[in-house]
Amino acid sequence: MEHYDIVVIGAGPGGYVAAIRAAQLGFRTACVEGWASPAGEAALGGTCLNVGCIPSKALLDSSHHFEHMAKHAKEHGIQVTGLGMDVPAMQKRKDKIVQTLTQGIAGLFKKNQVTWVKGTGRLAGGNEVAVMDAAGKETSRLSGTHLIIATGSVPMRIPCAEVDGKRIVDSTGALAFDAVPKTLGVIGGGVIGLELGSVWRRLGAKVTVFEAMPEFLSAVDRDVAKEAQKLFTRQGLDIRLGAKVLSAKAGKDGVALEVELAGKTETLAVERLIVAVGRAPRTEGLGAAEAGLELDNRGFIKVDASFRTNLPGVFAVGDVIGGPMLAHKASEEGVAVAEMIAGQKPEVDHGHIPWVIYTWPEIAWAGATEQALKATGRAYKVGKFPFLASGRARAMGETDGFVKVLSDAADDSLLGVHCLGPNASELIAEAVITMAFGGSAEDIARTVHAHPTLAESLHEAALGTDGRMIHL
Amino acid sequence: MLVEIKVPVLAESVPDATLLEWRKKAGEQVERGENLIDLETDKVTLEVVAPDSGVLVEIRKQTGETALSHDVLAVIDTAASAAPTSAPAAAASQTADAVAAAQAAAVRAGPAARKLMAEQGLAPSDVPSSREDGRITKGDVLAQAARPAAAPVAAAAAPVTAMPPALLDAGARPEERVAMTRLRKRTAERLLQAQQQAAMLTTFNEVNMQALMDLRGRYKDDFEKRHGVKLGFMSFFVKAAVEALKRFPVVNASVDGEDIIYHGYFDIGVAVGSERGLVVPVLRNAELMSFADIERQIAEFGKRARDGKLTLEELTGGTFTISNGGIFGSLVSTPIINPPQSAILGMHKIQERPIAERGQVVIRPMMYLALSYDHRIIDGREAVQCLDTMRQCLEDPGRLLLGV
């Protein structure tokens, strides 16, 4: 049996990053991953690269270009005739991107001398990991002085809408449609539902989003959520809040839906249905119960502040331990665990993790929302700057949305930044770094920003907390 | 009442002690028995605990300073209490706000600076900022860590478990200047002194461990059951050394100026590796100890060496030393005498080797033995025969029983 300093179970953004960092620190490292691509090839990268962040962004970009050509090219003076959408070509491009990136990780493993053990890792007692094939048969076994579990998450299932992979699909299926459905239902108005709903709406589907909560994007700052709802509705997304899907039956031509809305039961028919109601920790096949690994009541692996599970020498990171199910959160935790094992004292700044929803305009935020500050009774200042007043946004023709800055009323420390607008996902980085340094709104206000850029809008919003915006 | 906290009595051979990090600040409440600071001496680290509960009103000696026995390190006021218990609620809440604000200000440091502070054991208040706004930069932390007074040995981050050090980037050629700990400095001095003052040379032999291993294999379970401690090889080596030293008393002697002092007792130092360096606790009157006594005492020493809890008495004196490089894999080496002793036995790793036995080539578990000695008082004949006696006792442990 091969022995390693560190064995990582799972090669998603938590696992593969942990493995590379561990190898950089001089540990003999193995990473066990049994993901198979649709073509049946073993692939690294987990959900994020194979059926998550990356393929969805590929489709979001393709569909964004298409919509831009169809709706906005004209205002730039571009005449477009004979515009059409070749969905298989778009999918091929997406598959190629995924393939390139997952192979890229295999290259990084090679470069860093991380051993990729193909198969599904299962805790086999003590510090041993059994490697199982797709049929669930043990093919080999390895041991590690330290084990890091990074098995990620899977789409959550609901009994009223059983995923059949054809008419009713989860996020994975929704990334692989070979044609644009005429009508598309989406159960779940969260990040995944909105992004995938946007892709197919832009390409021509009539999309209805059923959200059980009475509020749109309840975790998001209210200002942002309200404005986003208005914009998405204007774009053609039919958002039904407080909608409870009672049943979804797949037939030959589509799906028959029974939805309870404001006390009334409606029946609807859609060609395809996406179930995007959240994600659950992936511990199946890990042998958690047999190994005595402690899980919480929702099935997440219990860890302490240093990501230690109840089993000696066994750590866990990423989606499988709960918290924000974000690739970048998992990666940071993976790095931290590897460094802790090496005796360093890293911290994962869970209070300042950026969140992004890749709709258009994009939604991005970090830190506290205004409603959260109100709830805790903290005195704060607000600065808000609309992209309508930004020269760059005007030039781009992307004037929807705004940047909102929240800072402490007493010491001006930056508490939250919320952005709805073009490239919000990139703009938020500046806010996160300021918060990481314990910076104030004035720190942003006193920092020179290039002109003309979208980042100037954050600068103006920061000035706004002090009531001294220049361009509004 | 004011109570002075003093440096405990240091042993005669220990001139002074260096203050490691204060665990309390002036003005803080301390509880009786609480460890306030560690003192590092040439041989051990001593804990200084609060003799009584109270408020630490004054620190007289700072981290990094040197102190002698009975020096006053700090003063505790046993009548005072750190928190004003009868303050009105409003004042208390104001204080809380101020504390919160101070804490907020304290974290005005970036992620890299915060990580470095955690690893160096520095609080934000320990690090002077180079910026007008008081923010602590990574450079500020690096500068503070490089200041000698603030770089106690204890600050080095202890790994979660012993692990290989990080591999360096092929392109990087980093260097790090680290002040020697007192223990290291003292070790260096003594080793150099031994090399310079003694006429040191080494004689070698090898021992066939088969009989010893058989004996141990036969009795190790019974031994552990009866004595509650594992039967190792060290007890045999200590016993064999004592037997040989009895026959060649000069090997157990020491030089004092122009005199030779013969010791009528056998205090055997056993070198033990610890995280702070090599320490050599001493088995007193090893000639009176049973195998179980020896094993138990060595196990106890090992544990306390790891915890840094060996006392000065346990580390001083000794008439002969046994050093085991074998546990690190050494095949053969020349140990250095621990002055004022005159000889040291080096054990090595057990290796299966072909040897000739009654005209046949056989494979046996063999160990090289090395005896370094001070030729000024020990003649070659005595050294060689002393070592050979040890070999005979080890190859035929029955000799230990009968004294033959």
pLDDT tens digits for range A64-87? 999 999 999 999 999 999 999 999
Question: Which residues in chain B have Cβ-Cβ distances shorter than 8 Å to A413?
Answer: 104
Q: Is the pLDDT of residue B157 over 70?
A: no
Taking the CA of residue B307 as centre, how many other CA atoms within 13 Å lie in the half-sphere pointing to its CB? 10
Q: Does B148 touch chain A (CB under 8 A)?
A: no
Same domain membership, residue A19 and residue A57 = yes
Length of chain A: 472
Q: Hey, are the CB atoms on B164 and A24 less than 8 Å from each other?
A: no
Interface of A with B (CB under 8 A): 5, 24-27, 145, 340-347, 349, 410-411, 413, 436-438
- d(Cα A146, Cα A313) in Å, to the nearest integer? 5
Nearest by Cα to A101 from A52, A66, A32: A52
Residue A299: inside a domain: yes
Task: With cut-offs at 50, 70 and 90, classify the pLDDT of residue B166.
Answer: very low
User: For the segment A353-392, what is each residue's pLDDT rounded down to a tens digit?
Assistant: 999 999 999 999 999 999 999 999 999 999 999 999 999 9
Take residue B185 and report the two structure tokens written for it: 């400095």
What is B2-77's CATH number?
Answer: 2.40.50.100
Q: Which residue has the tokens 């009223």?
A: A160
Q: Hey, are the CB atoms on B104 and A411 less than 8 Å from each other?
A: yes
How far lies B300's CA from each of A207, A288, B283, in Å?
74, 38, 11
| Number of compact structural domains in chain A | 3
Q: What are phi and psi of A54, to 5 degrees?
A: -70, -55
DSSP for residue A356: E
Whether omega for the bond prior to residue B159 falls within 30 degrees of 0, making it cis, is no
Q: Which CATH architecture has domain B103-155?
A: Irregular (4.10)
> What DSSP line would sit under A98-155, residue for residue?
HHHHHHHHHHHHHHHT-EEEESEEEE-STTEEEEE-TTS-EEEEEEEEEEEE---EEE
Q: What is the sign of the dihedral through the CA atoms of B12, B18, B22 and B26?
A: positive
Question: Which residues in chain B have Cβ-Cβ distances shorter than 8 Å to A346?
Answer: 115
* Minimum-distance CB partner of B166 among A25, A340, A349: A25
> Do A236 and A298 contact (CB within 8 A), yes or no?
no
Q: Most B CBs within 10 Å: which of A3, A308, A437, as the mutation test of the B interface?
A: A437
Q: Is the pLDDT of residue B98 over 80?
A: no
Residue A268: inside a domain: yes
Helix, coil or strand: residue A328: helix
Mean pLDDT of all residues in chain B? 81
| CATH assignment at residue A89 | 3.50.50.60
Same domain membership, residue A146 and residue A58 = yes
Same domain membership, residue A70 and residue A191 = no
Same domain membership, residue A371 and residue A319 = no
Same domain membership, residue A452 and residue A388 = yes
Take residue A259 and report the two structure tokens written for it: 């939805």
Size of interface A-B (CB pairs under 8 A): 60
* Residue B11: per-residue pLDDT: 63
> Do A66 and A180 contact (CB within 8 A), yes or no?
no
User: For the segment B22-68, what is each residue's pLDDT rounded down to a tens digit?
Assistant: 888 887 888 877 888 888 877 677 778 787 778 888 888 888 788 88
Taking the CA of residue A308 as centre, how many other CA atoms within 13 Å lie in the half-sphere pointing to its CB? 11
> Do A248 and A161 contact (CB within 8 A), yes or no?
yes
Helix, coil or strand: residue B307: helix
How far lies B27's CA from each of B61, B115, B182, B245, in Å?
15, 27, 30, 57
Residue A406: inside a domain: yes
Helix, coil or strand: residue A218: coil
What is B183-402's CATH number?
Answer: 3.30.559.10
Q: Most A CBs within 10 Å: which of B94, B99, B115, B140, as the mutation test of the A interface?
A: B115
Residue A81: inside a domain: yes
More confident residue, B248 or B125: B248
Q: What is the sign of the dihedral through the CA atoms of A420, A425, A426 and A432?
A: positive
- d(Cα A142, Cα A30) in Å, to the nearest integer? 9
Q: Which amino acid is at A74?
A: K
- d(Cα B237, Cα B253) in Å, to the nearest integer? 19
Same domain membership, residue A325 and residue A193 = no
**Domain ranges in chain B with CATH number 3.30.559.10:** 183-402
- d(Cα A65, Cα A59) in Å, to the nearest integer? 10
Q: Most A CBs within 10 Å: which of B93, B122, B161, B275, as the mutation test of the A interface?
A: B161
- d(Cα A118, Cα A212) in Å, to the nearest integer? 40
* Minimum-distance CB partner of B158 among A25, A343, A413: A343
Q: Is the pLDDT of residue B84 over 50?
A: no
Same domain membership, residue A333 and residue A298 = yes
* Minimum-distance CB partner of B163 among A5, A346, A347: A5
Residue-level pLDDT, tens digit, chain A, 472 residues: 899 999 999 999 999 999 999 999 999 999 999 999 888 899 999 999 999 999 999 999 999 999 999 999 999 999 999 999 999 999 999 999 999 999 999 999 999 999 999 999 999 999 999 999 999 999 999 999 999 999 999 999 999 999 999 999 999 999 999 999 999 999 999 999 999 999 999 999 999 999 999 999 999 999 999 999 999 999 999 999 999 999 999 999 899 999 999 889 999 999 999 999 999 999 999 999 999 999 999 999 999 999 999 999 999 999 999 999 999 999 999 999 999 999 999 999 898 999 999 999 999 999 999 999 999 999 999 999 999 999 999 999 999 999 999 999 998 999 999 999 999 999 999 999 999 998 999 999 999 999 999 999 999 999 999 999 999 9
| CATH assignment at residue A373 | 3.30.390.30
**Domain ranges in chain B with CATH number 4.10.320.10:** 103-155
Quick check: is A451 catalytic? yes
How far lies A303's CA from each of A98, A172, A337, B102, in Å?
32, 29, 12, 31
Task: With cut-offs at 50, 70 and 90, classify the pLDDT of residue B154.
Answer: very low
Q: Which amino acid is at A106?
A: A
Distant-in-sequence, close-in-space partners of A114: CB < 8 Å, separation ≥ 6: A19, A20, A22, A23, A29, A30, A31, A108
Chain A residue closest in CA terms to B104:
A438
* Residue B91: per-residue pLDDT: 36
**Domain end (from A348, A368, A385):** A348
Length of chain B: 404
Question: Which residues in chain B have Cβ-Cβ distances shorter than 8 Å to A410?
Answer: 101
- d(Cα B238, Cα B81) in Å, to the nearest integer? 54
**Domain end (from A215, A242, A277):** A277
- Minimal C-alpha gap between B368 and chain A (Å): 31
Task: With cut-offs at 50, 70 and 90, classify the pLDDT of residue B13.
Answer: low
DSSP for residue B285: T
Q: Hey, are the CB atoms on B160 and A346 less than 8 Å from each other?
A: no
Residue A471: inside a domain: no
* Residue B93: Cβ within 10 Å count: 11
Same domain membership, residue A72 and residue A145 = yes
Same domain membership, residue A284 and residue A220 = no
Same domain membership, residue A337 and residue A250 = no
Same domain membership, residue A296 and residue A413 = no
Domain range enclosing A414: 353-464
How far lies A161's CA from each of A7, A156, A245, A249, in Å?
38, 11, 8, 7
Chain A residue closest in CA terms to B102:
A411
**Domain end (from A348, A375, A408):** A348
* Minimum-distance CB partner of A26 among B104, B115, B165: B165
